[in-house]
Amino acid sequence: MRFLLLALTLFVASCGYKTANFHSQDICIKHVSIDYPEPTLVDTLNRVVADSLIQSGKKLNCSIHRQYDLDIKVDSFGFYSIGYSPSQRANVYKVYLNLDLNLKDKEGHTVLNKKIYETTQYFGTGLKADIERRYALEEIGRLVKVRIYNTLLTSKLK
């Protein structure tokens, strides 16, 4: 009877076990600065930056326990339609985006400063409204996500 009670107690106590990861880096996205009136770009960049941090093994944390602050500034952005469908709707877009990624520690010292340049062409089908524009911006967002992910994985953060 005692053995059964001891086994049950150990089983219940072990269910709450959680491994401690002492090597995770808590990063807070302090500011994503965009001086262009493109709301889709704002949404896309905020989502892309958060996704790339999480996928690179970092934790999003803006409490006092964070280790780093991330600032992203869009230096330049261009969006052009360069091709049209037979019904005279834009269906080929060229998008370029230049970012300045700045990672600082709690004391404000720059740990990582990286310029990211991306350009792409998006070939659509000439759909109505701004759906094609959104798809083109999401395409450049996917490329930026890969760059930020790679930068965070190859950086030597403490």
Walk me through the domains of the chain, giving residue ranges and CATH numbers.
24-75+100-116+133-154 (3.30.160)
User: What is the structure's pLDDT at 133?
Assistant: 81
User: What is the structure's pLDDT at 115?
Assistant: 94
The vertex-134 CA angle with 98 and 80, nearest 5°, equals 55
Q: Count H helices and E strands in the chain, helices first.
A: 3, 5
Listed residue (56, 74, 68) closest to 117, CA to CA: 74
Bridge pairing between strands 59-60 and 110-123 = unpaired
Write down the residue that tokens 């709690």 correspond to.
106
Q: Give pLDDT tens digits along the chain (158 positions).
A: 776 776 667 666 666 655 544 456 888 888 888 888 888 888 889 899 999 988 888 888 888 888 889 999 999 998 888 887 777 777 788 999 999 999 998 888 898 899 999 998 888 776 666 777 888 888 999 999 999 898 888 877 66
